[in-house]
Amino acid sequence: MNQKGGVGKTTTTLSLAHALALSGRRVTALDMDPQGHLGKGLGLNGEAEQGLDEVLLDGVPLEDNVLEVRERLRLVPAGERLAEVEMVAQGGASRGFRLNEALQGKMDSEDFIFIDCPPSAGLLSMNALFAVEEVVVPVSSDYLALHGVSRFMMILQHIEQALNRQMKVWIALTRYQERRRLARDVRATLAEYFPGRVLATPVRESAALAECPGHGKTIFEYQRGGNGAADYRQLADDLATARTV
């Protein structure tokens, strides 16, 4: 999750989910973004007309909308009407807990469940936050990204207080350009402000990562020997073993 757009949320969700599935874990990815990019990145082309929209709007069970997309990797697509969730007026505070409720007692056989969030702080994002134990915040390595992340961490703290429970929050550096001093500075600053929270491996800027969604392939199918695949394989390992800077 990150309210800022284009920081690599979907790329990170997709790549971590597939990396962990390839390493033998059972993984389900939920697409909480009405843009439906997660499904597109996996090669789905509009055939997934229903998904989380039915679950959150009509109370359809989650397992009715699970697609097997790769070995050990399942997807619950966004569905065409997911944006309507932001406009649900009735239900008061319970509107934020619909995903949490839909997940109760479900998916217990999964090792990891990932939720790709939209670049906004509305009801969809709230539903995701109220359903999870851990939050991964992808941060692109530039100055404005740094500003956004401090605000977001404060919002998270308020939510933790309201829910009266702690979440594990991880920062993942994306679109990292090693040769730029700014990128190295951003990484150092984040490590200083959020000790033990910044996952060890920065994901480098790589053309293949930008290209692969256009082919409906994950980076491990598109260019498994390249930097993008190597970085996300490592980052998946960082997440699984809590390895930080």
How big is the CA angle at 114 (ends 164 and 239), to the nearest 5 degrees? 85
37-45, 59-67, 187-195, 233-241 -> range binding Mg ion (CB under 5 A): 37-45
Q: Which is nearer to ligand ATP, 18 or 37 (CB)?
A: 37
Question: Does residue 245 sit in helix, strand or coil?
Answer: coil
Binding mask 72-111 for ligand ATP (x = CB under 6 A): ----------------------------------------
Nearest-angstrom CA–CA distance, 59 and 193: 41
Which residue in 16, 75, 132, 203 binds ligand ATP (CB under 6 A)?
203
User: At closest approach, how far in Å is the CB of 59 from Mg ion?
Assistant: 26
Asked if 7 interacts with ligand ATP (CB under 6 A), we say yes
In the complex, least distance from residue 203 CB atom to Mg ion, rounded to whole angstroms: 15
Q: Of 101-109, 145-153, 185-193, 200-208, which part binds ligand ATP (CB under 6 A)?
A: 200-208
Q: CB-wise, 29 or 198, nearer to Mg ion?
A: 29
In the list 65, 141, 206, 223, the residue contacting ligand ATP (rule: CB under 6 A) is 206
Q: Indicate which single residue of 2, 3, 8, 9 sits in contact with Mg ion (rule: CB under 5 A).
A: 9
Straight-line distance from the first to the last Cα atom of the chain, in angstroms, rounded to the nearest whole number: 20
The full DSSP string for 22-67 is HTT--EEEEE--TT-HHHHHTT--S----SHHHHHHH---GGGG-E
SS3 breakdown of the chain: % helix, strand, coil, rounded to 5?
50, 15, 35
- HSE-CB at 40 with a 13 A cutoff on CA atoms is 12
Which positions from 113 through 132 interact with ligand ATP, judged by CB under 6 A? 119
CA–CA separation, 192 vs 2, rounded Å?
A: 20
